[in-house]
Structure 1
Amino acid sequence: MSSAERLIESTRELLWERGYTGTSPRAIQQRAGAGQGSMYHHFSGKPELARAAIGRTAEEMRATAEAVLSAPGPALERIAAYLHRERAVLRGCPVGRLTQDPDVMADATLSEPVKQTFAWLVGRIAEVLREGRDRGELDVALDPESTAATVVAVVQGGYVLARAAGSSEPFDRAVSGVASLLAARGTSARNDD
């Protein structure tokens, strides 16, 4: 791994652990095993490095979600797979945690990939739900956009509940609950046929 890659990966981890303010250039350099000269050779400073790290984290989150959401199968199965996929629940969402960092959200360059990622995720889940509704898998009255926003909110809120409890159980209950509610909408659509 090149020094630039080590710097980006170290910044990603530190942002997840400590937030933007708590991530100093010195901490990044130490974790990456890179000197100050190497850091400033590749990046103009902490903001540019943080932007690269946040962008990569956002891309990874989208790719992971897309792999599950674009898999073959009924819409509800794909949404359930997204809800129940393996996560580091007690660490929280690496992108969602950035929304709680005032320094990230106050900087348009840093916050843009965060905003784009959540907008994309809600939109992508809405597409899957719309497909399911159009194929008769889900109740025709289901609003894909509102339901997708609910799914994302439950996942993000599940992280908060889990971290507060120090256990992944609240997260698991939250995502199982929304999956059950969605399944009930699917059941009512099938029973109407």
Structure 2
Amino acid sequence: MSSTSERLIETTRELLWERGYVGTSPKAIQQRSGVGQGSMYHHFDGKPALALAAITRTAEEMRGETEALLSAPGTAVERVTAYLRRERDVLRGCPVGRLTQDPDVMADPALRRPVEETFAWLRGRLAEVLAEGRDRGELPAPLDPAATAAAVVAVVQGGYVLARADGSAEGFTRAVDGALGLLAAHTAR
């Protein structure tokens, strides 16, 4: 990919995270990236195509970072803990999760797809790790991996909301601590 299209995608990723879809105008993308209108439309058919490239890149990056943690050595709980405790800019929120609050993204099936696929993948991957832990006796047999995975994702996304509402990372940290305490209680049985 050319450096011009890379600058456009990276700029759009940042603007979507900061301002959402409506607030990410072609003019704002051009100004921040330093790319002219002609060059922008040479590489992308329009704002929706550029936004799709940016959202897809953000989703792929999130999956890659998460997969590295979940496929690392260690017990299931250690790997889930690594995912929950990974460094995040909690006050900015999740760059994929925030898109679910954007009505324009959620109304467009093409823009919505990478968001849906990412969360489905994340729940599925966490469920696999938790099932592995259950099957190895690290977690109790009655544990429902799919429900627990959904709860872990909800804790992360809800933790972002709490942190943003409080203006402090403490809300996120407390939510993660609570989830890990519940997992620890299951492993102690």
Offset, 1:97: 0.2
- Aligned to 2:172, the other structure's residue is in SS state helix
Instruction: After TM superposition, list the pairs within 5 Å mapping 1:70-109 onto structure 2.
Output: 70-109=71-110
User: Secondary structure of the residue that 1:93 maps to in structure 2?
Assistant: coil
For residues 62 and 140 of structure 1, the distance between their equivalents in structure 2, rounded to whole angstroms, comes to: 28
1:52 maps to which residue? Answer: 53
TM (norm. structure 1) is 0.97
Measure the CA separation in 2 of the matches of 1:187 and 1:117: 32
| Cα drift, residue 187 of structure 1 | 1.1
Moved over 4 A (4+): none
SS in 2 for 1:89: coil
TM-score by length of 2: 0.99
Letter in 1 for 2:108: D
Paired position in structure 1 for 2:180: 179
Matching of residue 32 in structure 1 with residue 49 in structure 2: no
Where structure 1 has 5 or more consecutive residues not aligned to the other structure, the ranges are 189-193
Residue number in structure 2 paired with 1:191: none
Give the RMSD, CA atoms, in angstroms: 0.6
How far, CA to CA, are the matches of 2:82 and 2:16 in structure 1?
Answer: 27
Q: Partner of 1:126 in structure 2? A: 127
Letter in 2 for 1:37: G
What secondary structure sits across from 2:95 in the alignment?
coil
Match of 1:157 in 2: 158
Deviations 1:30-59 (A, max 9, x none): 111100011000000000000000000000
User: What amino acid is the match of 2:125?
Assistant: R
Partner Cα distance (1:98, 1:107) in 2: 12
Rounded Cα–Cα distance in structure 1 between residues aligned with 2:121 and 2:183 = 20
Match of 1:7 in 2: 8
Q: Alignment partner of 1:111: what SS?
A: helix
Identity %: 74
Quote the offset at 1:186 in angstroms: 1.0
C-alpha distance after superposition, 1:138-180 (max 9, x if no partner)? 0111000000000000100000000000000010000111011
3-state SS of the aligned residue for 2:91?
helix
Aligned length: 188
CA distance in 2, matches of 1:28, 1:9: 10
What are the ranges of 5 or more consecutive residues in structure 2 without an aligned counterpart? none
Secondary structure (helix, strand or coil) at the match of 2:139 reads coil
Shift of 1:13: 0.1
For 1:119 and 1:164, locate their aligned partners in 2 and report how far apart those are by CA, in whole Å.
26
- Displacement of 1:19: 0.1
Q: Which amino acid aligns with 2:105?
A: V
